[in-house]
Chain A
């Protein structure tokens, strides 16, 4: 048995091995340790220790006024009236939808399950073609109007970025190589699920695209990524859909946005077999059980264990385990039999 205080004196590599064996308290400690170290540095700098108080996940939207600076002017907060700025209103509404999805589906109280404020920055930079999560808040550019347009207005982009926050607090997957690709994968998974919920689509109606509404007509492609057919969303899309085509270069933090195509395809195939709601539960519980350095094989081990447990408890349909196993096998990830 391993409690938090006990775990603090155990080296991280031992915590990791215990986490792999399914020890959730060790996994949590491993995740927390890294985050605590980061926070501690900040606290020491400020010589200030504040008590953490549970919040309500209130939304705050800031207008960056096209400067490369966050939180320039707060323009809408929880309960506030709509403004004349559609980017502000969209960021407010969509971030609320994402927050409510996680609350109503999994009982998660905001990003950190402790009611963390949800902060969105819109109109970041000039012609800025990007959106990012920086460890505390989300930031969206307007796009240059040539290839991309307003990132804050897209439900899947907002859900993707907010899911990075959730992953940070649940599994803290390291943002490089396979753990980083898993980090991107979970953001694409929940971006896709929440997009379908937002649009009231079922899986037969869905396009399984990520970022289709932020690309212009001039952009050489239909979206940024495709869960259904990784590597086909645009002329630059190099995502593989099978381990045979795994990217092993150094670009993109060793391919975090590239190799995520492999588990993304497995997710899509699983949804076709057992539906998106069962998959949502399986993927969320798997995320909770993963740890900072988890790789694709760890993901497979954990997701099969999680699925089997949920199936035995009757929380997902019969046949879920076989469907998930088959889906991962199709993309070249199979359980190693000892």
Chain B
């Protein structure tokens, strides 16, 4: 599964881009897709918060969403942490 993660904003405003491929269990993949399909709830007045742009591509299907610090689902945060921990 291909992914593109772009994190910008934040106090320092130093954008970070992570592109690559990752293998996930089918149950993890399904959960990730389902979570990305849900429109994030509007957040309040976050200043200096990160903005997370997440896109995944699998078998020609592309899905993307944008989150902030308050509406980032734990499934997506875990996925981002997994990608970062692999040093991609």
A-side residues, CB < 8 A to B, are 38, 68, 126, 129-136, 139, 148, 151, 157, 160-161, 164, 168, 175, 183-184, 187, 211, 224, 234, 236, 251-253, 257-258
Contact = CB atoms under 8 A, between A and B. Distances in A.
Contact of A132 (B15, B69, B72): B69
Contact of B48 (A126, A132, A234, A236): A132
Interface stretch (B4-12, B30-38, B57-65): B4-12
A144 to B, nearest CB: 10
A252 B46 CA distance: 13
A186 to B, nearest CB: 11
Give the secondary structure class of A's interface.
Answer: mixed
A68 B11 contact: no
B45 interface: yes
Nearest to B44: A135
A130 B50 contact: yes
B12 A211 contact: yes
A223 B74 CA distance: 31
Given A38-B44, A68-B77, A134 B11 contact: no
Contact of B45 (A68, A160, A168): A168
B13 interface: yes
B49 A134 contact: yes
Interface in B12-31: 12-15
Contacts of B44: 38, 134-136
Interface residues of B, number: 22
Nearest to A69: B74
B64 to A, nearest CB: 16
A134 B70 contact: yes
Given A68-B77, A132-B69, A257-B13, A252 B8 contact: yes
A252 B9 contact: yes
Given A130-B48, A257-B9, 14 more contacts: A68-B74, A130-B12, A134-B44, A134-B46, A134-B49, A135-B44, A148-B12, A160-B48, A161-B48, A168-B45, A175-B47, A234-B14, A257-B13, A258-B13
B61 to A, nearest CB: 26
Contact of A252 (B13, B69, B77): B13
A161 B11 CA distance: 9
B15 A251 contact: yes
Which 5 residue pairs are nearest across A and B when measured between Cβ atoms?
A135-B45, A257-B13, A135-B44, A132-B48, A164-B47
A132 B11 CA distance: 7
Nearest to B69: A132
B7 to A, nearest CB: 10
A151 B77 contact: no
A134 B13 contact: no
